[in-house]
Structure 1
Amino acid sequence: MDANMMLDFANFSTLFVCMVLKFPQIFVLMQAKSTRGVSLKSLLLELIGFIVFITYQMYYDYPPPTYLEYPILIAQDAILLLMILHYNGNLRQSLTQLTRFVGGWQLLTLQKWIIDLAMSLCTLISAASKFAQLQCMWQAKDSGQVSALSWGMATYTCLARIFTTVMMTGDMQVLVRFIVMAILNGWVTAVVLHYRRKGSKQD
């Protein structure tokens, strides 16, 4: 397989996986009607990271295949956010959260230095989202309704994006972000599986 074929495979497989990435988590919440183990703080930070990242990519006219999955991920995270707020009895907060996100999205593109600074902080924000989910599970000593499949697929997409970033843009900020995210997504997946096995043994 030559480099172009590998690049096409990485781009299309990432897009395909992202189209269904959050579905396992959504289905788990729908079945359980509970958000036990799922961190709202993690989801909000992840949404902020996604919004900053896609805005940065579009601002600098990067090739669309490098970020096409992000509108899909943002939409799926928005659905998850509504579900979490609904099951927690805080659905009224959703309008406030939506207003904040839309307002923040508009502010990002006012000046070049704003989007550059936001992208510099994007990796820290996205990393914080993973640590928030890890903290939630560590405190409960239980993975609750967290989907290992969703986190595993997220790990794959980050690994694929490391390859496409090297091949297509070479942007070091973007590359570092995907490396960090791949490690942390893998870590969350491992912790979820650990608590799953632990729970199965106790049963």
Structure 2
Amino acid sequence: MSDGGGLDLGSSFMEPFKGLLVSYFMPESCYDQFFLNWNLLDVPCLKIVISKVLGIGIILGSVMVKLPQILKLMGAKSAEGLSFKSVLLELLAITGTMAYSIANHFPFSAWGEALFLMLQTVAIGFLVQHYGRRTGLGLLFLLLYFVLLVVLLSPVTPPSVVTYLQASNMPAIIVGRLIQAAANFHNGHTGQLSAVSVFLLFAGSLARIFTSLQETGDTLMALTYVISSGCNGVIALQVLYYWNCTPESKKKKKKKRE
């Protein structure tokens, strides 16, 4: 009798939170497993909850993930070391993922960070042009991008185009990261590249492999994040390798040689 009373007391205590938990973290069947049957080790339900928590965490983190990069550019008033072509290719990949996810009605927790990463990447693209004394081109870039985005998300665009765009993410990510990696190698430093942003992007793309398989079951999405993790890992390794190398230190060494 006391055990039944304990179960009733526990389920009553969780009842006010049921709507929140079922809406964002688990289906009702998992809520019943956890809080009515107290089967806390139900593997399928644990996978769902871990995926949801990771997804929401990635989305919350994405609001800030590229802010260090933006602040570093603005503080230095320089975009040295950043490749605009790499930014464009990264933006293409992010936009493709966002459009593909919306078109396939995937849950927001499976792709929401793409929205915030898109806004921050657009800002970085503008700053690269602005600090390269091409502010007019930067404004034109903003205008063209948002016009194309509206068209892409409208019913005018066939689903096949959106799928093709998502498929093109893999070569876009690879080429974009290779361009940035080559620029880092050529410069002998990572310039104004933010280490915080690079490591957060690497961690986020790794976590997204699991959440994509769990929440969407879409192999194309998961494979995109596998490629993204590998490429982000290369940049992260370069950040570590060139940790003590800065544009200023390279210039000083060059002057000493002369």
TM-score relative to the length of structure 1: 0.91
1:127 aligned residue:
174
Of 47, 61, 71, which residue of structure 1 is paired with 2:91?
Answer: 47
1:56 aligned onto 2:100: yes
Contact in 1 for aligned 2:173/2:227 (Cα 8 Å) = no
1:93 aligned residue:
137
- Give the secondary-structure state (helix, strand or coil) at the position aligned to 1:65: helix
Aligned runs of 1:1-203 on 2, under 5 Å? 2-105=46-149, 106-107=151-152, 110-198=157-245
Supply the AA of the counterpart residue of 1:160: A
Contact in 1 for aligned 2:100/2:163 (Cα 8 Å) = yes
- How far off is 1:186 after superposition? 1.2
- How far off is 1:74 after superposition? 1.0
Q: Which has the larger radius of gyration?
A: 2
Change (3 A) 1:110 1:179: same
Contact in 1 for aligned 2:189/2:242 (Cα 8 Å) = yes
- How far off is 1:20 after superposition? 0.6
Supply the AA of the counterpart residue of 2:109: P
* Number of residue pairs matched by the alignment: 202
Q: Deviations for 1:75-103, whole angstroms, at most 9, x for unmatched residues?
A: 11122122211111101012322343234
Supply the AA of the counterpart residue of 1:76: Q
Supply the AA of the counterpart residue of 2:157: L
Where do 5+ consecutive residues of structure 2 fail to align? Answer: 1-40, 254-258
- How far off is 1:118 after superposition? 1.4
Supply the AA of the counterpart residue of 1:158: S
Q: How far, CA to CA, are the matches of 1:83 and 1:42 in structure 2?
A: 14
Share of identical aligned residues, percent?
24
Change (3 A) 1:95 1:33: closer
- Give the secondary-structure state (helix, strand or coil) at the position aligned to 2:243: helix
Q: Which has the higher contact order (CA 8 A, sep 6+)?
A: 1
Q: How far, CA to CA, are the matches of 2:174 and 2:99 in structure 1?
A: 18
Where do 5+ consecutive residues of structure 1 fail to align? Answer: none
Q: How far, CA to CA, are the matches of 2:166 and 2:48 in structure 1?
A: 28
TM-score relative to the length of structure 2: 0.73
Q: How far, CA to CA, are the matches of 1:98 and 1:29 in structure 2?
A: 18
- How far off is 1:198 after superposition? 5.0
Q: Deviations for 1:129-165, whole angstroms, at most 9, x for unmatched residues?
A: 1111111111111111111110100011111111111
- How far off is 1:44 after superposition? 1.1
- Give the secondary-structure state (helix, strand or coil) at the position aligned to 2:135: coil
Q: How far, CA to CA, are the matches of 1:171 and 1:107 in structure 2?
A: 21
